[in-house]
Amino acid sequence: MPIRPKAAAPAAPHTTAMKRIALVTGASRGLGATIARVLVRRDLDVILTARTQADLERTAADLSTTNIILTRHGDLADPFVRQTLIDAASYLGGIDVLVNNASELGGIAPLAETSRDQLERLFAVNTVAPLALTQSALPLLLSRHGLVVNISSDAASGAYAGWGAYGASKAALDLISRTLAAELAPVRVGVVGVDPGDLRTRMHQEAFPGEDISDRPLPAITEPFWEWLFDQDPMAVTGTRFKAQAAREEWVTPVC
């Protein structure tokens, strides 16, 4: 059944007027922290979330800014946690950018050995939670004609041995991104998918336990892409799947 956006909610008393507002999940480290840093540098107020409160607060404290930074910790598979984020965004007055970055790897194992519980958990976190958060955020996105960014992976199409469960959850998210882009275009809310490429992060290290991954670049290598993307009109990029480490020419004319 098609998603029918609700009417935009009235601005909260504490709205930041024309100040742009972003919500970033999985923001305590790695790629999420990098995206948060770019957004703050671009003078956006931000709402940051992650499961571990101590790491989240440390990241927020490291952001040198006079902008508003709100933090909410918890598991995004929990509807209550998602609602705390919507409440925080409503308090600020809307959402211009929603970055669905939080995800779980779930371990590297053959699909034939992946339990139903593991599969359900990965889809709950990597697929259902981003969609559910986007659904709840729609009135706030509508009020500002915002942009939804869903973080994908090359595992979504790579069919790598051992990555099947994670890859399937990201492939489903890719289809959700394209479908939402088509459904929300009439109300001028943009949706894109982004494959950040291999990065030197804790989650990537989990995929290669005991191996040296120092040849992978740090998440900061993607900063030029985020600087470019957040300059674009959401309707000019909606429906596109980008590769953050590709050449700039491919961002302008992406190969999907």
The mean of the pLDDT values for the chain is 88
pLDDT value of position 209: 63
Q: Is the torsion defined by CA of 116, 121, 123, 126 positive or negative?
A: negative
pLDDT tens sequence across 159-172: 888 888 999 999 99
pLDDT tens sequence across 206-240: 555 666 556 667 889 999 999 999 999 999 999 99
- Which of 123, 163, 166, 242 does the annotation list as catalytic? 166
| Separation between Cα atoms, residue 173 and residue 131, nearest integer Å | 8
| Separation between Cα atoms, residue 24 and residue 56, nearest integer Å | 11
Question: Has 160 been annotated as catalytic?
Answer: no
pLDDT tens sequence across 138-191: 999 999 999 999 999 988 888 888 888 999 999 999 999 999 999 999 999 999
**Which domains are assigned to the chain?**
21-252 (3.40.50.720)
